[in-house]
Amino acid sequence: MEIHIMRGPSGSGKSTYHKEKWPDAEVCSADNFFMVEGPDVAVDNYCYPVGDPRRIDITPGESVYKFDPSKLGEAHSVCLSNFIDLLWAGTSILGGDQDAVIVVDNTFTTLWELNPYLAAIQLAGRECHTTIHEFHVGSTDALRFCAESNTHGTPMEVVAKMAFNFEAYRGSMVEVERILSAAEHLTPYQEGIMVSHPHF
């Protein structure tokens, strides 16, 4: 089983990267919690006039992202719970595929946010090849790009705070790939360098 944990500020390219690399992976993300079906969202969004950027025209039945900051803690709890379910169920929940791939796609700017996932992997005691993919953003232009390109409307000051507070993983439990975000050069990703070795 492969586990890929994506870390980095909003708009740094985490989702694009894993969708290109592992298109058939099971994805655990707090963002999934905020995906809602069309009719309720359509009613909410039609209260904004045509041309207002807050208005989203939605086809009935279409899922869209509707963030509620008061439910962020619950979203992360559900994400971790879903990950543990997949991890403990092993390949059977993934159709018996021995080459199962699980992607966890969250910002994880601080290590305390990441640690429960690493603890779950260790406690499961399964043969897992785990890699943390860290997306680094530093320049002002890159931060602006992240703010403009992220799909959830995260403003630049929040993206900058994420980048400033980012704590690099320095442990030896898993492999780490440090990626210079596409936002840094506004070009495709530069492949990262593996800096440690997997232990499970």
* pLDDT tens digits for range 111-164: 999 999 999 998 887 678 899 999 988 788 888 888 888 877 888 999 999 999
CB-CB contact of 25 with 15 (8 Å): no
- Please identify, in words, the CATH class of the domain defined by 2-35+67-194: alpha beta
Q: What is the pLDDT of residue 187?
A: 42
Taking the domains of the chain in order of start, what are their residue ranges?
Answer: 2-35+67-194
Q: Looking at the predicted structure, is the pLDDT value of residue 22 above 90?
A: yes
pLDDT category of residue 39 using cuts at 50, 70 and 90: low
Q: What is the pLDDT of residues 49-70, one digit of tens each?
A: 555 555 555 555 667 778 888 9
Q: Torsions phi, psi of 5, nearest 5?
A: -105, 120
The one-character DSSP state at 20 is H
What does pTM read for this prediction? 0.77
List the structure tokens of 39.
């009719």
